[in-house]
Structure formats: C-alpha cells, structure tokens
Structure 1
Amino acid sequence: MNLKKARPGDLDPDFGDNGQVIFTSPDVLQFTPWAINVDSEQRIYVAGHALRTGVGNQYFCMRLTSTGQPDKDFGQAGYVFGTFGDNISHQVGEVLVQKNDNKPLLISTFGQTKAVMRLNLDGSRDLSYGKDGVAIIPTGASMRSDEVETAASGTGGTSHSTLLSDGKLLLIAEVWVGSSVHHSLVVRLNTDGTLDNQFGEQGITRVRHPDFDGTLLLGSLELENENENEMKYLLSGAVLKQGQHDRALFMRLLPSGKLDTSFADEGYKVVLSEFRTGFYPDKLILQTNHRLLGVGHTYDARDAGLLISREMDGSENIQFNGGRPLLESNGALRNKWTNALIQNDGKILVHGSTLNAQSGEDKNAVARFTDDGQLDTSFGISFPVRQAYRPAAWFTGNTVLFLGTIKVDETKYVHCIARGVIA
C-alpha cells in the first residue's frame, strides 16, 4: 500500500475508486450496509440488507480484496444474497469471521427469533452449521429493530457478539415488550451452531437488573481471570427506568452463564450520569493494565462521544479522567464513538461521527486520547464522507475502514465503504 501521496484525513487512493467502494448490483434498488469485518487474509466483509427488484428485501454479504476490489471467488461477483428462512428477519446486523478457517458468520436481528448463518469461503451456505446452515435462537418475545432511531438503536455499528477463544459464539439479543426493554439475552452457541447446554438454561441466560425497568446489553468481551484460570464474560449496556435518564451498566458472567457476584455490586456496576443525559457504552475494549473501556455515546440533553474506564472489579479507574465518564463533543452538535483501538503506546484511537454545526452534515472522524483520558488536540481527523445510516468502522493499521454515504448527483446519496488514512 502506498500512503506517501495521502495525508491523514484523506481517503486512501489505493483502495477501491479513490478511497471508496459503492455497493452496486444490477438487480438491487438499494443497499443498506450495517457491519464490517476483516479476516486474517485482509479480505473485507460488509453485510446488511438489500432491496432487490422482483424479490424484495434480503440480506447481503459482500467480500472485497484488501485493495477494495469485489472478490470474484465469493458468491456472484463478490456478492451473496438470500434469506434466513420463514419468519426470520432478512436484516444482518453483524458479520463475524471465525479465526480458525475465516468462515463468515451472518447474524440477523429483529422479529421473534435471532439467527446465525455460516458461509463457506466461496459464499455458499455451510450446511454443517445449525440446521441447513442456520442456527435459530427463539427469544419468546419481539426483538427490537435497530431501524428505529431511538436512544438505544443504531448506536454501535460494531459487533455486540463475541467469538470466544474456544471457537464458540457469545450472542446478545434484546427482547422488547411494547416500547420498553424487558430484558436481554446472552446466548452461547457451540462451534456447530447448537445451543451450548453448559451455559445458562439450555444455552441462554436472561439478564435483567432487579432495580430497573429494563436492561439493554450492547457490548461483550471475553477475558481470562488469571487468579482462577478461567474465562469470564464482561458485558456493557444500559439500565432503564421510567422518567429517568438511562444509566451505563457493566456486568460480568461466569462461564456457566451465572452472574459473577464478585464483580462490583453483586455482579452489576451502574454508572450514573451527572450531565442529565443517557449513557450508552456500546463496545468494550481492554486498555493498558487490563482496565475496561466502555466506548459509545450519550443521548438526550448532550449528545457526545462517551468513554468510561473501570478497573477489573468494576470500580472507578481514577487514572482516567479522575474516574469520571469522559464526554467529548468538540463543539459539534452531535458526536458518537463507534469503535476504538488501543495503540502500542497506550493511546486510544476512536472512530465516530460528528455533526458539523455549520454544514449540518455527519462526517466520519477519528480522535485520539491519552491513556488517562486527555484529548490529543493535535490529532483530530475528519473524512470527506458522510456518516452511513448504521455507523461501523474497523481499524487497519494506518487506515480505518468505515461505512458512509456519498452524493452521486445533485439529490441522490448512496452507501459506500471507504478507507481513510490516519497516519
């Protein structure tokens, strides 16, 4: 890759068409991408749903080469379309890639069920997974559609689910009753797509904080407990109560799926907002010294990018912003952090969208913070691509991949994936 002719903030000229790839297929009226992932061969997966002529809505998965060219060895000209089955949503909210064989997993959202499909490397359905290639997880109640823009939807763009070190899959599903969250599900699937009966009740743990009306889980992370030589599952999200601002939630589960009551306050850590706004840590990553960093956004009175750093026991990390949640708006009307990366020196790169007060456009942007939560004012980067409907990003060394929308004529905008230079 030749980045000498490109500067930070530019689109990478060695990717696609001057840094971007527009989704195109002869029979597709509209693409709505939701998720990005990259495999060990640096092939890029983009997934979402598409409106097809004469067919209607279906999921789509596209594979690109590392230089942004459609991979002709995958599906038809790089695209795969289809449905999960009867009464299962066509919407793909996540795409994950197995570490051992690079097979992609497509995860659906919305409706009465959650489903996972595994594809072979040529794009065909892997019939050895689940039933005819699809693992189906009934939830027993309606699941929230992320197509509705509310406080808790359209927020992450990165995977809520986690591929575990043993090859199993940890899933999160939000179950809704009416207009408010009733509870969340944490599901563990075996490598063949069957429910893992060693976890929770027949593979499913239902989570609801007893002191709140609703519990919304958004991020997950597997972590080895060195003292006990076992893997535990860290989860982030929000708790909701009628008439109050939503509060950030961190919690930890044991490998059995039971609540780890040694974490924080009997297994839960609720973080209050002193800014009269809702907190939504959509993604969890590890900082230096094994500290937890919740990455996301606020909502309501002050829309800003949100970072919350905690110690492994759930207590405040006083080394980070004095232990307080860090909100960053940088003068914008709205900021949201989508993904983050810890650099070798401990500094934190965050990707997100920022709404410019003058132009009124959401731009894709990258900011950098020190390990103790100080904004690096010498670094801020924005890219000449508007935010996509569903923000998603993937850091790739000196560049970042992200979803966006671009204008193709005076009135029409189309979705794309772009790669921007950050160093």
Structure 2
Amino acid sequence: MLSVQSSRRIKALTVVTTVCAAVLVLPSSALAVPGGLDATFGGDGTVTTDIGGTDAANALAVQADGKIVTAGQANRDDTAVARYNSDGTLDTTFGGDGTVTTDIGRTDWAYSVAVQADGKIVTAGWANDGDTAVARYNSDGTLDTTFGGDGTVTTDIGGFDVAWGLAVQADGKIVTAGWSGSDMAVARYNSDGTLDTTFGGDGTVTTDIGGTDQARWVTLQTDGKIVTAGVANGGDTAVARYNADGTLDTTFGGDGTVTTDIGGTDRATEVSLQADGKIVTAGVANGDTAVAQFNPDGTLDTTFGGDGTVTTDIGGTDVAWGVAVHADRKITTVGEANGDTAVAQFNPDGTLDNTFGGDGTVTTDIGGFDAAYSVQLQTDGKIVTAGTANGDTAVARFLTQPGTADVSVSVTATGSVAGGLSVEATVTNTGPDPATHVVTTTQLPYATAAVTSLPADCTWNAPARQVTCTALSLNVGDSATYTYQAHMSLLTLGELPITSTRIASTPQDANPANDQETRVCRALTGLVIIC
C-alpha cells in the first residue's frame, strides 16, 4: 500500500521498515507514479476550500474543458457548488470567487452533480428537512431560472425523501434516485423542472425491495434503462433496473431487482457500468471496501473475484463511497480508511492492481479526518476525488500512468593558464513531473590527470575519466549544478572535449534530445587552455 502525506504536512523523506514490508512515506510531489498525487494540481495534488463553516463535497463532475465541479454543503445547511480550474485554483468566472451557496429551503444539501451538454450544472439532494431537491446553475454560477422558475425544484415524493444520485439523459431529462420513507425512490424531470409524467405516471417511482431500502446512486445504460444501487433488507447490497417508462425491467433478476449478501451488513454506495453492460457496485461489507460485478441479467459475474464479489481491508474500518470504470475495464474505488482518503484499483478479474500504489491501494492524509465521497476520471486517465478534510471541501488528483520529467543537461568549462579546466555541469527538470535519482556522467578529456574540489554527491572514476553525479530529487523548474576542477597533464595539446550525459532518472524522460551536451576546449600549450 502506498501511504501518502500531503507535502503541506511533511517535507522530509522517511523510510519505515518492518520485518516483512517497507512503506515509503514521501512528499506527494515526489510520487510521479501510478497512485501518486498529481503535483500539477494544487502544488501537491490536493486542494482544500473553506466555502463557509463546516463544508464537504459529496459529488464531483469533470467538464469537457477539464474544469472540476464539486457539490455538497456549506454552513451546515446550504447547498454548495465550487468549480476549479485544471490546476486546482478556484475558477473565478463561477460565482465571482469559484463558489456558490444556495439556500433552497431550511436544511439542504447536494449529494450529486452532473454537467449538461450545454454546460449547465445540475445538483440533486434534499431540502425542507425531507424533500427531494434539484437545482440547476448557469455556467457562471447563477441559478437557471428556466428551471423551476427560480432554478430550484423540490418534490415531496412521500414521507422523508432524499435524492442521492443524479443522471442527465441525452434528451436533457434529469433522473434522480434515493429514497422515500423506507423505499427506493426514482424521479424524472423534464428540462424545465416539471415532473415527467411519462415516467411512472406522475414522474416518480418507489420500489419496496424488502425491509428498509435506499438507492444511493443511479446510472444510465445506452439503451435508456435506469440502474440504481443501494441497500435493502436493512443490510444487503441492492440493485434495481427500470425501463424508460419507470416499470421494473424483469429481464434483470426476474423482477427487476437483485439483492446480494456480500457479508454481514453491506450496502452499495455507487454504481457504474462496464462497456459490455456489466454493472459494477462499490460500497462496504463488514467494515471493508466491497465491490461486486453483475452480468446484464443480474447474475453475479463469476469472472470477477470468483463469485462476483471482492472485499478489501485497506486499513481498519473502511468504506468505498465512489466507483469509476476505466476503458481497460479496471475499477477504481474511493472512500475512507482509518480517517484518511482511500483509493483502490482493481484489475478486471477483481484482483488488486499492484501497479497502483504498489499493492493496489493508496491512503492519503489530507488533513485531520478526511474522506473521498466521489470519483471521476479525466480524459487523460487521472483520478479526481472530492470529499472533506478538516471540515473543508477537499479535492485530490491521482496519477494512473507513470509521470514524465524532462531532464536537460548543459555543461560549460573555463580554461586557465595553469593547465586546468573549471567544469560546471547542470541538470534541470523542466517537468511536467518532479524527478528523482537523476544521474549524470561527465566524460572528461583524454589528458585529465586528476579532479579536485568534487562535490559530495559526485564520484570520480580515474581510469574512465568520468565524473558521476546524483541528484536525489528535482522539483519542476529546479536545477542541480556540479562544479569542480579538472587538471590536465603537462604535455596536453589540441582539442579537449567535455561531454555531460543524463544516464538515469525517474520518472521516464520523454525528451532524450536534450540529455547530452558537449563543450570543446583547446590546449594551445601544455599550460594554456581556452574554451
């Protein structure tokens, strides 16, 4: 497991060794590896925002332009939306300072968010201490008054209502999922905020799967069917699939619903779809992260984990709150473990992907109690999470591919009238990621007899006439310069080439064209050298 502490909290490199394992705790900026925090976001891969009072992001969406939208609550009882630029700074074209809070009615929170094709932002949650609430914002953060008259709609489906999930259909209709009383509840709205009466007769559908049941998320199939996931019977993972008209789809599980006892008390907190139509849920079972994969007919997919389910003890009590499916069918879950943000990545067969974080899991201490409640994948494959840290909205971005760091090499030399050269070799990291263990060699001329004033991080190989220097770390924009004296033999004449070359660095250097430079000096006599 890769355990990461934000570089705002730890600056030194520490190695902790036990009998059977070594856990490397590094500044996040040094981890340009799959599972490492992306240092191009917020400087260390994390951003926290105090929107007002106690706040949290319960959901996020990534716009087509790469901007990140979060939705949750602020001041304990108002819906809060924030938008970030791709570098983690708040987008001041949204709400003036990058954040917007909305008092829909008494206590109101947003639990989900989606971005429409036209750039408008839709949130869903609850308001009035127990009604389903949907709000729509223009791209500048103002409420969209073409939706519900004032940009908000509340719906009393029956009893205590909450919308936890939200999806926008291709035709612009808005689907929410949650619960009403003790039943799963799904609603569909027209683009103007009115309930769509072609769905369930009045725009809402409630489903009693068994006992107390809730929908925690919703997703849409390409054929227009609606998939929800949550909990039923007070403690089993539950999935339901609806036809476009709101009736249960009886080709799924026989009656449109499937319940699965993964182990002890379990529930699904989010659902996603594989490209082949398989349904992936993530949540918790017996205090561990739980993932299940279902075939399109509702049966468990036994190619995943042997029986269709996988539970993972990331550390102490943990839970997955969000799930995302990659194009290569890998599955990423996010949540919390021992009060820290937790991310896990699974191969298509359910095994942990040990290319991610070393063992398939990463925990990150952003600050105080922190957790990730939602996850999205960028088009470049990077993982974005949103949640809370120290009572503030927290967003983090993780790498899924090895980073790259373009390390360039330059060398200069100054001749003297004493038969020597002052050599200066420089390595510079131009990014985009930090570099570690940058090794360069400088090949000195054939007539080099000795080297003096060598820096501590360099070594001299006399037979090969090479100086090798190592920089343990170079942040983006940083350089390391090595200066020393090379003494020539007394009878030296002619050209004296000096060549510096990068021979190793982590991560990969994608631009080898600037990995080497040669400077040629000339010995006019055994004592006079010019460069």
- Tell me the TM-score normalized by structure 1: 0.79
**Residue pair 1:297, 1:337 contacting (<8 A) in 2 also:** yes
**Do the aligned partners of 1:388 and 1:415 also contact (CA within 8 Å) in 2?**
no
- Per-residue CA deviations over 1:265-316 (Å, capped at 9, x if unaligned) read 322222134x3x1221222222253211111112xxx211111111111112
Provide the residue aligned with 2:207 in structure 1: 207
Q: Match for residue 412 of structure 2? A: none
**How does 1:55-204 map onto structure 2 within 5 Å?**
57-85=77-105, 87=106, 89-98=107-116, 100-109=117-126, 111-143=129-161, 160-176=165-181, 182-204=182-204
- 1:420 maps to 398
- Give, in angstroms, the shift of residue 261 of structure 1: 2.1
2:347 partner letter: T
- Cα offset, 1:414, TM superposition: 4.4
Total equivalences in the alignment: 366
Which of 196, 221, 232 is matched with 2:225 structurally? 232
3-state SS, counterpart of residue 161 of structure 1: strand
5 Å-filtered alignment, 1:219-298, equals: 219-225=217-223, 231-240=224-233, 246-273=235-262, 275=263, 277-298=264-285
Q: Indicate the larger mover: 11-20 or 378-387.
A: 378-387
The separation in 1 between residues aligned to 2:176 and 2:184, in whole angstroms, is 10
Out of 402, 410, 413, the residue aligned to residue 385 of structure 2 is 402
Unaligned runs of 5+ in 1: 146-158, 177-181, 226-230, 356-361, 408-412
Q: Which residue matches 2:299?
A: 315
Shift of 1:394: 2.3
State the secondary structure of the residue aligned to 1:139: coil
User: Structure 2: how far apart are the matches of 1:258 and 1:5?
Assistant: 49
Match of 2:55 in 1: 31
d(CA) in 2 for partners of 1:341, 1:206: 26
1:170 is displaced (CA, Å) by: 0.9
Letter in 1 for 2:366: V
Aligned to 1:15: 41
> Do the aligned residues in 1 keep the contact of 2:323 with 2:374 (CA within 8 Å)?
no
User: In 2, distance between residues paired with 1:109 and 1:234?
Assistant: 21
1:19–1:418 contact (8 Å) kept in structure 2: yes
- Per-residue deviation at 1:404? 5.1
For residues 293-304 of structure 1, the aligned pairs below 5 Å read 293-298=280-285, 302-304=286-288
Matched to 1:113, the amino acid is D
Code of the residue aligned with 2:374 in structure 1: it is: A
Whole-angstrom distance in 2 between the partners of 1:351 and 1:112: 27
> Structure 1 residues 63 and 129 mapped into 2: Cα distance closer, same or farther (>3 Å)?
same
* Pairwise CA distance, 1:69: 1.4
Amino acid aligned to 2:250? T
Q: Is the 8 A contact 1:9 1:383 kept in 2?
A: no
Q: Is the CA contact 1:297–1:336 (under 8 Å) kept in the aligned structure 2?
A: yes
Q: Residues 375 and 384 of structure 2 are in contact (CA less than 8 Å); yes or no, is this contact kept in structure 1?
A: yes
Counterparts in 2 of 1:264 and 1:104: CA distance versus 1, 3 Å: same
Partner SS for 1:322: coil
Shift of residue 139, structure 1, vs aligned partner:
2.2
Cα displacement (A) at 1:198: 0.4
Residue identity opposite 1:127 in structure 2: T
Residue 199 of structure 1: how far off its partner (Å):
0.5
Query: Which residue does the alignment assign to 2:323?
Result: 340
1:328 equivalent in alignment to 2:334: no
Structure 2: gaps spanning 5 or more residues: 1-28, 402-531
- Taking the TM superposition and a 5 Å limit, the aligned residue runs for 1:378-389 are 378-379=355-356, 380=360, 381-385=362-366, 388=370
Query: What SS is found at the alignment partner of 1:30?
Result: coil
- Specify the alignment match of 2:428 in structure 1: none
CA RMSD of aligned residues (A): 2.5
Counting aligned pairs with the same residue, the percent is 24
1:359-382, Cα deviation, whole Å (9 max, x unpaired)? xxx222332222121222343333
Q: Which residue in 2 is equivalent to 1:179?
A: none
Partner residue of 1:366 out of 343, 362, 366? 343
Query: Is the 8 Å Cα contact of residues 371 and 389 (structure 2) preserved in structure 1?
Result: no
User: How far 1:21 sits from its partner (Å)?
Assistant: 2.3
Give per-residue Cα distances to partners, 1:157-210, cap 9 Å, x unaligned. Answer: xx622112221111113123xxxxx2121100111111001010310111112x
Partner of 2:456: none
- Deviation, 1:398, is 4.2
In structure 1, C-alpha distance between the alignment counterparts of 2:353 and 2:85, rounded to whole Å: 33
In structure 2, what is the Cα distance between the partners aligned to 1:130 and 1:329?
Answer: 45
Distance (Å, rounded) in 1 between the aligned partners of 2:219 and 2:392: 33
Tell me, in whole angstroms, the C-alpha distance in 2 between the residues paired with 1:29 and 1:217: 29
* C-alpha deviation, 1:144, in angstroms: 6.0
**2-structure distance, mates of 1:134, 1:395:** 28
Q: 1:123 to 1:250 in 2, by over 3 A?
A: same
State the SS of the aligned residue for 2:373.
coil
Secondary structure, counterpart of 2:198 in structure 1: coil
